[in-house]
Amino acid sequence: MNTVQLGASGIRCETVGLGTWAMGGWMWGGSDDAAAIEAVRASLDAGVSLIDTAPAYGLGHAESLVGQAVAGRRHEVVIATKCGLVWHTRQGAHFFDEQGQAVHRYLGADSIAHELEQSLKRLRTDYIDLYITHWQDSTTPVAETMGALLDLKRAGKIRAIGVSNVDVPTLTEYLRHGPVDAIQERYSLIDREIEAGLVPLCEQQGIAVLGYSSLALGLLAGPIDPARRFEGDDQRRDNPRFSAPNREKLQAFFGEVEPLRARHACSFAQLMIAWSTGRGRMRVALCGARQARQAIDNAGAIRLQLTDDDLQAIERSADRHLNSITQW
- 159: number of Cβ within 10 Å: 19
d(CA 47, CA 53): 18
Please give the full DSSP string across 168-179, using - where no structure is assigned.
HHHHHHHHHHS-
Instruction: Please choose, from the candidates 203, 204, 216, 196, the residue with its C-alpha nearest in 3D space to the C-alpha of residue 276.
Output: 216
Query: Any residues with CB less than 8 A from the CB of 305 and at least 6 apart, and which?
Result: 274, 278
**Pairing relation of β-strands 182-186 and 208-212?**
parallel
Strands, DSSP E only, in 179-288?
182-186, 208-212, 283-288
- Of 57, 131, 174, 187, which residue is the catalytic one? 57
Task: State yes or no: is 187 an active-site residue.
Answer: no
Query: Any residues with CB less than 8 A from the CB of 150 and at least 6 apart, and which?
Result: 161, 177, 178
The HSE-up count of residue 203 (CA atoms within 13 Å, CB side) is: 11
Instruction: Please choose, from the candidates 198, 235, 231, 232, the residue with its C-alpha nearest in 3D space to the C-alpha of residue 219.
Output: 235
- 64: number of Cβ within 10 Å: 19
Collapsed DSSP state (helix, strand, coil) of residue 184? strand
Question: Which H or E run contains 320?
Answer: helix 308-321
Backbone angles phi, psi at 213, to 5 degrees: 55, 45
Question: Which H or E run contains 198?
Answer: helix 198-205
Backbone angles phi, psi at 120, to 5 degrees: -60, -40
Q: Name the amino acid, one letter, at 320.
A: R
d(CA 307, CA 321): 22
- The residues assigned a catalytic role are 57
